[in-house]
Structure 1
Amino acid sequence: MHPELPADLPVAVLGDPTARTALVLHGGGGPRTVAPITTHLGATMHALAPTHPGWEGTPRPGSIASVTDLAQAYLTRLDADGERDVVLLGSSIGGWIALEMAVRASVDDRYAGLIGAVVVIDGVGVVVEGEPVADFFALDARGLAEVAWHDPDRGYVDPGTLTDEQRAVQQSNGRTMAVVAGPRMSDPTLLGRLRDVSVPTLVVWGASDRVVTPAYGQAIATAIPGARFVQIEAAGHLPHLEAPEATWAVIDDFLDRG
């Protein structure tokens, strides 16, 4: 059974449909964590921000049980929609999806010209010796804030303040992430395959990220031919939330160059 996105997959759409398309891929926290990115890109591009199947209470088809399945499903959908020169921008697990898409598009002639550039923001997915991915599933809300944010008090959400509905969605998102990303949130083959990425790539990293350290991000950039690595100060795993202006400046400069 081929990986296939649901026909009614929720997608936030912003910007001019005749402009260059940017596909914004969220991480484990769901689409709200990348909403500012979608808004920013939507000012100059045709920004598409799907909710991955299984997140936010959406159904997850049985054919989508891994990041590789998601990557293939998104490539298939973009190709079917006639997209070309798409910018992939992924945060956290979304960065992993973007990297897998870029690798596949670079080695499969069916997708020639489909992907034009990649932006990874604090992505997971590779295995870097000595730089493990934090055990997300073992962390409580306070522990997650401590590793994910430069200012943990800003990122901490007291579970006691959540509604029953919000708590149910959060738990469901976690279960889906455990299935799709796996307990280690990595693919031991990915780092070696990044040498096949053939489009301009920007790797953006929060200097205070302790989910995946800047050294981990540098290893991703080093593995991709010609990739650029930029560190964002006073920011953790979600630099676009903690230091948006610095993050936009880096991304805009990269996209303006080509």
Structure 2
Amino acid sequence: MEALLPEDLPVVQAGDPAARTALVLHGGGGPQTVAPIVGHLATAMHVFAPTHPGWDGTPRPESIASVADLAQAYLARLLDHGERDVVVIGSSIGGWVALEMALQAASDERFAGLIGGVIDIDGVGVVVEGQPIADFFALDARGLAEVAWHDPERGYLDPARFTDEQRAVQQGNGRTMAVIAGTSMSDPTLLSRLGAVNVPTLMVWGASDRVVTPAYGRAVAEAVPGAEFVEIPAAGHLPHLEAPEATWAAIDAFLGRV
């Protein structure tokens, strides 16, 4: 069964419809974590930022049960919309989806020319020897802040302050993430497949990230032909939240070349 996105999937759209298209893909924290990326790119691009199926209470079709399924569904939607030369920007799990989209586009003639570049921001998905991905599902709120943020106090969200509705959404997001990304948040085959990526690729990494370390990010970049790697000081897993100016500088320089 072909993986298709729900027709009523929430999508934030911003920027000039006549400009080049950017697809912004969020990670496990949900669409609000990439809102600053959308705002920044919308000054020069036409930006689409969907909520992944199953996040924030949205329905998830049974046909979307893996990152590969999600990547295929986004490619099909872009194709249906007549898009070309799209820049895909993904954060965390979104970075994994972005790489998978580039791989599928490189191997399927239906999607030829659809993807023009990839920006992977602290993406998970790859198995790198000696650089394990932090066990997200075993961490409490304090532990997650410690591994994901340069300044853990800034990133800590006290669960006692959550409403019942917020708690239900967070739990639902976790269940969906376990289905789509697996509890390991990785694909053992991905690293060996990255040599097939044939579009310009930028890896942006927070220097203090301990979900996936900069050493992990460099290993991913080395596996993608011609990929660039930029480390952002004083930032963790979401450098666009902790060090936005340095993050925008890296992204804008890359976009100016591709």
- TM-score range relative to shorter protein: over 0.9
- Tell me the TM-score normalized by structure 2: 0.99
Tell me, what secondary structure is at the counterpart of 2:12?
A: strand
The equivalences for 1:45-124 within 5 A come to 45-124=45-124
1:175 paired with 2:175, answer yes
The equivalences for 1:1-258 within 5 A come to 1-258=1-258
What percent of counterpart residues are identical? Answer: 76
Q: What residue ranges of structure 2 are gaps of 5+ in the alignment?
A: none
| Residues 31-89 of structure 1, C-alpha deviations (whole Å, 9 max, x = no match) | 00000000100111000000000000000001001101000000011011100000000
| Residues 199-220 of structure 1, C-alpha deviations (whole Å, 9 max, x = no match) | 1000000000000000110011
Q: Which amino acid is the alignment partner of residue 45 of structure 2?
A: M
Q: Which amino acid is the alignment partner of residue 18 of structure 1?
A: A
Deviation of 1:107 (Å): 1.6
Tell me, what secondary structure is at the counterpart of 2:71?
A: helix
Number of equivalenced pairs = 258
Deviation of 1:115 (Å): 0.2
Runs of 4+ in 1 over 6 A off after TM superposition: none
Separation (CA, whole Å) in 2 of partners of 1:245 and 1:161:
30
| Residues 127-160 of structure 1, C-alpha deviations (whole Å, 9 max, x = no match) | 0000010000000000000000000000001001
Deviation of 1:106 (Å): 1.1
Q: What residue ranges of structure 1 are gaps of 5+ in the alignment?
A: none
Separation (CA, whole Å) in 2 of partners of 1:117 and 1:179:
27
Separation (CA, whole Å) in 2 of partners of 1:175 and 1:111:
30
Separation (CA, whole Å) in 2 of partners of 1:109 and 1:3:
17
